[in-house]
Amino acid sequence: MAGQSKPVRLSPWGSAVAGATGAVLANALVYPLDLVKTKLQVQVKQKQTAEGPTDIEHYDGTVDAITKIAEKEGITGLYSGIAGSLLGVASTNFAYFYWYSVVRTLYMVSKKSSANPGTAIELSLGAVAGAVAQVFTIPVAVITTRQQTQPKGEKKGLIETGREVVESEDGWSGLWRGLKASLILVVNPAITYGAYQRLKEVIFPGKVNLKPWEAFVLGAMSKALATIATQPLIVAKVGLQSRPPAARQGKPFKSFGEVMRYIIEHEGALSLFKGIGPQILKGLLVQGLLMMTKERMELLFIVLFAYLQRIRKEKLQKAIDTAAAKAKTSLPATLK
């Protein structure tokens, strides 16, 4: 019908910006939890010797870690490395949401169907998008992990830490440490977003735009499931990207399997789940806030793009009318 316009669909770029914006806001709010879970995951209890324990500082849990860090480094210590972390969050989520939108759209077009993909397909699409995103963004994750585990007197900026990684290890390839583990860990966002889509269809069937609290609950539930399933790999990846324990005398781990064996040997199998408390709490808050914010951001972008589209049409029509008026006035009197 005249006067009606097609609904504005968010492009992959718009979806990526909305997702990255939501992720940055969510992670900034809970960053101390991210710092604490990293410190808990990299600490390895050393066996007692005649010389005494080798750990300089040991944290007994989330609250203990927050308390000790605040006492030793002040409140700012709880935000150490936040710039690099948020840069990594922004780049990773931008890449993920962009490629997820692209591969999902391509799949839907290839199938020539508007029906939602099944659970297995949804997980596969998420895994592909996550793998592509990791290849491009893992250097920032490596640098951030190093910044979060630097002792108080050795704090360095983003560029300096990156230079240290390149110079002290395997050259530029050191910035991609843990890539294999990260590629395996794409099942985490795949499980998260696959579960989110499925839970959304089951709990809120046919509903397109969720309320903020609904998106928060679904995001939190889906992230909790993914975190529990992949925690050992998360711990191993952090161990790969951080400085090696003192007992290894500066010798870095070569694979996530080696990290796992080292942790089991020194602390037992259950230590593969160390830091799961702040990991899940952070995941619940971040994923809930992210999906809640992303839903709002997508609506905002749709409204913005619709407004810009209308402005562009009005300007185009005005230009056409102006050109037509000029053409009319320039015609000879006999042709008017």
Query: What is the sign, positive or negative, of the torsion defined by CA atoms of 168, 169, 172, 174?
Result: negative
For the cut 60, the answer to whether the pLDDT of residue 59 exceeds it is yes
Cβ atoms of 23 and 89 within 8 Å: the answer is yes
- pLDDT, one tens digit per residue, over 244-266 is 777 777 777 878 788 888 888 88
- pLDDT, one tens digit per residue, over 265-300 is 888 888 888 888 888 888 777 766 766 666 666 677
Whole-number Cα distances in Å, 336 to 193, 265, 290, 318, 319: 64, 95, 62, 22, 21
Predicted structure pTM score: 0.60
Whole-number Cα distances in Å, 16 to 1, 101, 244, 321: 33, 8, 35, 37
Question: What span, in angstroms and rounded, lies between the C-alpha atoms of 145 and 84?
Answer: 9
pLDDT of residue 1: 44
Question: What span, in angstroms and rounded, lies between the C-alpha atoms of 201 and 213?
Answer: 16
Mean pLDDT for the stretch of residues 52-56: 48
pLDDT of residue 167: 78
Mean pLDDT for the stretch of residues 228-241: 84
pLDDT of residue 150: 79
Question: What span, in angstroms and rounded, lies between the C-alpha atoms of 81 and 142?
Answer: 11
> Which residue type is seen at 71?
E
| 238: nearest Cα among 63, 44, 50 | 44
pLDDT of residue 334: 53
- SS3 category, 182: helix
Provide the percentage of residues in the chain whose pLDDT is more than 70. Answer: 82
Domain ranges of the chain: 12-335
Question: What span, in angstroms and rounded, lies between the C-alpha atoms of 215 and 221?
Answer: 10
Look at the block and give the residue holding tokens 């009005």. Answer: 314
Question: What span, in angstroms and rounded, lies between the C-alpha atoms of 171 and 76?
Answer: 31
pLDDT of residue 114: 66
Fold assignment, 12-335: Mitochondrial carrier fold (1.50.40)
- pLDDT, one tens digit per residue, over 200-217 is 888 888 787 778 788 778
Q: Which two tokens stand for residue 319?
A: 């230009």
Q: How many CB atoms lie within 10 A of CB 258?
A: 14
Element (DSSP H or E) covering residue 323? helix 276-330
- SS3 category, 49: coil
For the cut 50, the answer to whether the pLDDT of residue 128 exceeds it is yes
Q: Within its chain, how far is the Cα of 112 from the centroid?
A: 31
Mean pLDDT for the stretch of residues 35-59: 67
Whole-number Cα distances in Å, 104 to 127, 182, 315, 325: 11, 21, 34, 47
Question: What span, in angstroms and rounded, lies between the C-alpha atoms of 167 and 117?
Answer: 46
pLDDT of residue 198: 84
pLDDT of residue 7: 45
Mean pLDDT for the stretch of residues 220-249: 81
